[in-house]
Structure 1
């Protein structure tokens, strides 16, 4: 694996300058994080956000790419928070575009899949956090994980595999609260099937 320039730099950044490294997110999960943020008292909100600082890498030309906490990023964007806490894990500023993408792929930090779970080109990734489309199956995966059915290790972003597992099994009306609740119940049931044991992060 290409050696990363690890920096662990804690700073802040404008949210509209951050680049996504995945093609979609789950808006129902975003709304939950909006609620959690909004519930924080004024004197506690900054510390709360620091606890959930976005994890980034610095790319060629100093561009900033989110590698963890896309949903927190979108929640804060939706709430109108312009500047957010970030932690820059690695600095690839000295690499050209191709070497940067190669390093991102080696570390598992880029997921170019659209809102239907189809693989796309890196160039087709959304240009900003605010432009990321909704994939409701990522919300299902997030809430099933919170229910304790699987764990998402730092080494492998298991939510994508679980989202695809649910996509193959569950069709629902995600536009309504009742429809999403029904789909979530089906997802929890599906996570207990024998086939789910083969998925990353499965918890017996």
Structure 2
């Protein structure tokens, strides 16, 4: 059996039609991306969207599932952006839902874990970006990377692994990333306990 051919790999899709392939995001990151968007002029907004194609997979019933840029997608949805470019990686529209999701996870294109690091069923992955749950540890992991706590890594879902590491090590009162927490996070990032994580930059002297 031959797989369907995607005649137009670059699609224009409304953000509210994009299907997520994970359960959580860091809502503080989404808010930051919204702030950046609001401060851009019309030309810069067009340039930002043109430079950020959403990698996607065509799933059952022709639904478009994105496999990256969930934070940006949610930010643009909340800002009322009409369409975004999606670069189709594969067409799996002919697969049954259970086979589709197993295939997605095998390819590291799905991350069915909730904001407490619990493995969930594929049915728990939201049908739309605006239903993604907040994981403040995902925000902490992103900010630690931005502060050179560790290096960006091509491994899919690398920041989720860092989020799980911090979840076991630090408390986030009120789900907020304070300056004190950031200081502790950076120290932990350069400790030997984090050596197994993608992008680990080595132990502090």
- TM-score of the superposed pair, with normalisation by structure 1: 0.88
Between the aligned partners of 2:179 and 2:79, the Cα distance in structure 1 is 24
Taking the TM superposition and a 5 Å limit, the aligned residue runs for 1:93-112 are: 93-112=93-112
Residue of structure 2 equivalent to 1:76: 76
Deviations 1:137-188 (A, max 9, x none): 0011111122233334334321111000000011022455xx5333222211
CA contact (8 A) 2:21 2:66 kept: yes
Question: C-alpha displacement at 1:63, in angstroms?
Answer: 0.8
Residue of structure 1 equivalent to 2:53: 53
Residue of structure 1 equivalent to 2:91: 91
Residue of structure 2 equivalent to 1:198: 196
| 3-state SS of 1:56 partner | strand
Change (3 A) 1:140 1:189: same
Residue of structure 1 equivalent to 2:145: 145
Structure 1, gaps ≥5 residues long: none
Question: C-alpha displacement at 1:7, in angstroms?
Answer: 8.0
Question: C-alpha displacement at 1:192, in angstroms?
Answer: 1.2
Question: C-alpha displacement at 1:103, in angstroms?
Answer: 1.4
Change (3 A) 1:6 1:203: farther
CA contact (8 A) 1:5 1:92 kept: no
Between the aligned partners of 1:6 and 1:143, the Cα distance in structure 2 is 37
Residue of structure 2 equivalent to 1:120: 120
Question: C-alpha displacement at 1:44, in angstroms?
Answer: 2.0
| 3-state SS of 1:75 partner | helix
Structure 2, gaps ≥5 residues long: none
CA contact (8 A) 1:26 1:139 kept: yes
- TM-score of the superposed pair, with normalisation by structure 2: 0.88
Question: C-alpha displacement at 1:117, in angstroms?
Answer: 1.8
Question: C-alpha displacement at 1:53, in angstroms?
Answer: 2.2
CA contact (8 A) 2:138 2:160 kept: yes
Q: Which moved more, 1:87-96 or 1:55-64?
A: 87-96
Q: Which moved more, 1:159-168 or 1:24-33?
A: 24-33
Deviations 1:58-95 (A, max 9, x none): 11111111100000011112212232222222111122
Between the aligned partners of 1:180 and 1:88, the Cα distance in structure 2 is 39
| 3-state SS of 1:168 partner | helix
C-alpha RMSD of the superposition: 2.2
Question: C-alpha displacement at 1:122, in angstroms?
Answer: 0.7
